[in-house]
Structure 1
Amino acid sequence: MTAQAQEIRASSGMAAAEGRRGGMRAMTPDDIPAVGRLFNRVFRKNDSEPGDDLASYLQTVFFGSPAYAPEVGSVVHESAAGSIDSAILSVPMAFTVHGRPITARLLCAFMADGKAGAAGAARLARSMRAVRQDLCFSDNASPVSADHWAAAGGIVLPIQSLEWQRTFWPLKAMALLASRHFPVMGSRILTGTLGIVDRVLRRMRSSMRPAAQAACLTKTATLDEFLECAGPMLERFALRPVWSQVEFDWFVGVAAMNRSLGTLQCRKVLGEDGRTIGAFLFFGNANDMATVLNVLSEEGREFDVTAAMFARLDAEGYAAAVGMAQPFLMNAISRQRWLSFRHRGYFCLVTRHADLKEAAERNDVYIGGLASESWSRLLTDF
C-alpha cells in the first residue's frame, strides 16, 4: 500500500471515529452531489446542484474504472463542519514500467472552495508528493498547478504539453474553431461559402493537400483491431498503458460518451506488403474537425503512418485535425505543411520510482489519448 493510501485510510478512520470532524478521505458515491456542486462553483462560477447528467457522469468516470479501488480513486477533504471544501478527482488505470505493473492515476480536476477550502487543498496537494505516488499525472495543468507539481517532486513533459494542428481547409477551419465561442461562425451558410474559397486556395497551393506514401493503404478498422495493434507497437516504450480488453472497452465506452467531439473511430495503415504498420483513433464530425486521440506505428514507420493519417482525414472532408504531440512522432509530424503547435496545458507527472522518472525524462513513455483527459466531457460539455 502506498504512503498516500495509508494516510487516506487513516484519515477516513479518524473522521469516522471523531464524528466526521473533518479531514482527508477517499471520495464515495454519496459525495457526488457535493462534489458536483463544488465543480460547478469552481469551474463554471455557478453555485448550483449538479444536474442528473453531470452526477451520472461523475459516477461513471470516477467509480466505474476496472482499476478502481478507494485507495487509488478520488480524494476529498471535509471541513470541521463536515462539508466538502476541496477535492481531487482521479481515474486509476493500469500501466507497466519496464515490465512491472503499476496503477497510475489520471488527475482530472483539483477543486477548492475559495479561502474556505485553502487548508484542505494544501493537505490534498501534499498527499500528491512524489514520495507517496507510484504514478500520478495530468495533461492540462495550469502554470500555477505546474509549479505545485514541480514543488512536489514532479516533472513537466514539454512536448506532451503541446497540441499540433494540421489544417486542410484553412478558412473553414478558422470559422469552426471560432464557433466554439461564437456559434454563429459555424453556420452551414458561412462554412459552405468559406469552403468554396478554400477550394480555390487548394488549387493554387497544392501543399494544403497532404499526400500519403503511394505504397500505403488506409482502411476503416474496428476498435478491437486498434487494440490488437497497441500491444506490439507499444512494447518499445518503457512506460505504457496495459489496456487489457476489459479496461480498453471501458475507456472507449466513456470516451464515446463525448458526442460533442463527434463519433469515435479507428483507421489502420497497411504497408506495401499488406501488413498493418500503424493505426489511429480519433473523434470526428462530418465536415468538421478531427480530434486525434492516439497514433500507433511500428518503429521506423512513423513517416508513413502520419502521412497516411493526414491524407485520409483530408480525403474524408475534415477541415483540420488536432492531437497531442508525442516525442516519437515529432519528426514525422513536423514535416507536414500547414502545421502549427500551441500550448495545450502542462503535462505533469509525479512518481516515487527512479526508473520511471528517468524514462519520462528521456521521453521513453507513451501517455496520452485514451490515457489522458482528452476524451473527458468535463472539458467540453458541463
Structure 2
Amino acid sequence: MGQIRPLAETDIPAVAALFQRAFRRTDRAASDALVECLHRLYVDHPLSHESLPCFVHESTIGISGFVGRHRLPMRLADREVNGALFSTIMADHRAGDPLIGPKLLKAALTGPQDFSFTETASDVSLAMGQRLGSSGLASYSLNWIRIIRPAQWLADRAARRYRALGLLKGLAGAGDDMLRRRIRPDRQRWLGYARKKAGKAATVQEIDHDAFAALFIELSDRFTLRPRWDAPQLSTLTMEAILKQDFGPAFLASVSDHRGKPIGCFFYHLRLRSTARVLQLVAAPGGEGAVIDALIAHAADRGAAAVIGRTEPYLMEAMLGRRIGFTNTASSMINTRDGEIRAAVDTGAAMLNGLVGEQWSRLIGNHFD
C-alpha cells in the first residue's frame, strides 16, 4: 500500500520524474533546470521550514506521490500565527492506489500550523479537501478579466491552439486601436476600452522590487490577517516572482493620489499582444477604484489585449461598473480550527492569494525545457 514520509533531498530527481508524468504526460527525463527548480523550491527556499516538511508517498514503484508545503509567517492583529501553504500535489496512477492524493492531503493537514491554505485547488483537490474539513473561499476564488482589445484577445487565444493564427494578432490589434479611438472615455463597454486622458486623480510610477516590497508591507496594514515578512524577505520573494518566461516581462508600479500619497501598487506580467496577468494588486482604503483603473490603463497603454487577476473580497465592490467579468478555474481553500483566523477570512480581512499564495513560484509561468 505504500508509506507517506517527509521529503528527503535525495528524492528530488524522483519527484521531478513524477512531475513529468503527472503534469506533462510524458516519461521523458526531467531537465536539469526542472530538477534545480524543485530543489530550490522545496529544499532551499526561504519559505521552506523543518516544522512543515513536504511529503512523498513511496510504494513498490518508488516515489508515487508528492505534496509540497511552505511556511507562511502571518500576523493576526497583534498575534503571530503560521500557515502552511500547499502547492503541488500529484500522484502516479501506475501505483494502482486511488487514495494516494487523499492520504497525502490528510498528512499535510496534520501539523503545527494554525491554518492550511492553497489558491490553486482543482475541482478534485477541492472535493478532497472539503471531505477533510477544508472550505472553499468563493470570494478569493474567482479570476477577474477586463477585455481591452477584443479582436486581439480572441486572436491570441486562438493562436494558443493553432500557432499560425498568431500572425493575425497584429492586424487584430490595429483594428482594436481604431475602435478604441472611437469609444468615448465616459462610456464603459464590455468589449473595448477607451483611451484615457492623463488626469490628476492618480499617478503611476514604475518601481523596482525593493520599492514594491516596501510599499506592499505598508499597504498590508489594512488587513487583520497579513504576512509578517520583513522588507528583505519580501524583496527576495518578489524578485523570484519576476521571471515568468511564458507570461512575458514584469511591470511593478506604485499608484499615488493627487497629493503624492501612495494609495496602491500592482505587479503584472505582459507578453506582447497578449493578456496582462496580475500577480498582485494592493490598495489603501478608499483607493481601490483608482488603483484598479490605474492598473488597467497602464496595461492598455503597453498593448495588453486584456487584464486578468484573482479576486480579493475588499476589491469586489470597486469592480462593479467597470465592465469586469469573472470566471473560476481554480479555487482558494483553507483549513483551520482557529475562530479568529476563520473570522478574518470570512469577513474579507485576510490578505491571501498572489504573493501570499503560490503565484511567486517558478513552477508557474516557466517551462524548463
Q: Tell whether the structures are fold-level matches, with TM greater than 0.5.
A: yes
Provide the secondary structure at the position in 2 that maps to 1:180. helix
Given candidates 166, 185, 192, the residue that maps to 2:165 is 185
Structure 1 length as normaliser, TM-score? 0.86
Matched, 1:195 2:173: yes
Gaps of 5+ in 1: 1-20
> How many angstroms does 1:96 deviate by?
1.7
Partner of 1:281: 267
Contact 1:263 1:284 in 2 (8 A): yes
Q: Distance in 2 between matches of 1:274 and 1:349?
A: 38
Provide the secondary structure at the position in 2 that maps to 1:349. strand
Given candidates 67, 74, 79, the residue that maps to 1:100 is 79
Cα distance, 1:177–1:90 mapped onto 2, change above 3 Å: farther
What letter corresponds to residue 136 of structure 2 in structure 1? V
Identity %: 27
Cα distance, 1:371–1:210 mapped onto 2, change above 3 Å: farther
Partner of 1:341: 326
Structure 2 length as normaliser, TM-score? 0.89
Contact 1:130 1:152 in 2 (8 A): no
What letter corresponds to residue 88 of structure 1 in structure 2? V
Please tell me the root mean square deviation across aligned C-alpha atoms, in Å. 2.3
**Cα deviations across residues 146-195 of structure 1 (Å, max 9, x unaligned)?**
122112211111122111111111111122233333322323xx111111
Matched, 1:254 2:254: no
Cα distance, 1:23–1:250 mapped onto 2, change above 3 Å: farther
Partner of 1:270: 256
Partner of 2:22: 42
Q: Distance in 2 between matches of 1:107 and 1:198?
A: 41
* Matched positions, count: 358
Cα distance, 1:151–1:131 mapped onto 2, change above 3 Å: farther
> How many angstroms does 1:353 deviate by?
1.8
Partner of 2:277: 291
Q: Distance in 2 between matches of 1:213 and 1:301?
A: 15
What letter corresponds to residue 237 of structure 1 in structure 2? F
Contact 1:269 1:276 in 2 (8 A): yes
Contact 2:138 2:332 in 1 (8 A): yes
Q: Distance in 1 between matches of 2:98 and 2:232?
A: 38
Q: Distance in 1 between matches of 2:357 and 2:161?
A: 24
Partner of 1:157: 137
What letter corresponds to residue 86 of structure 2 in structure 1? L
Gaps of 5+ in 2: none
**Cα deviations across residues 336-355 of structure 1 (Å, max 9, x unaligned)?**
13x22111211111123221
Q: Distance in 2 between matches of 1:96 and 1:210?
A: 41
Q: Distance in 1 between matches of 2:211 and 2:14?
A: 40
What letter corresponds to residue 95 of structure 1 in structure 2? M
Partner of 2:69: 90
Q: Distance in 1 between matches of 2:224 and 2:13?
A: 40
Contact 1:157 1:347 in 2 (8 A): yes
Partner of 1:56: 36
Cα distance, 1:183–1:159 mapped onto 2, change above 3 Å: farther
Partner of 2:201: 215
> How many angstroms does 1:377 deviate by?
4.2
> How many angstroms does 1:31 deviate by?
0.5
Partner of 1:307: 293
Higher helix share: 1
Partner of 1:325: 311
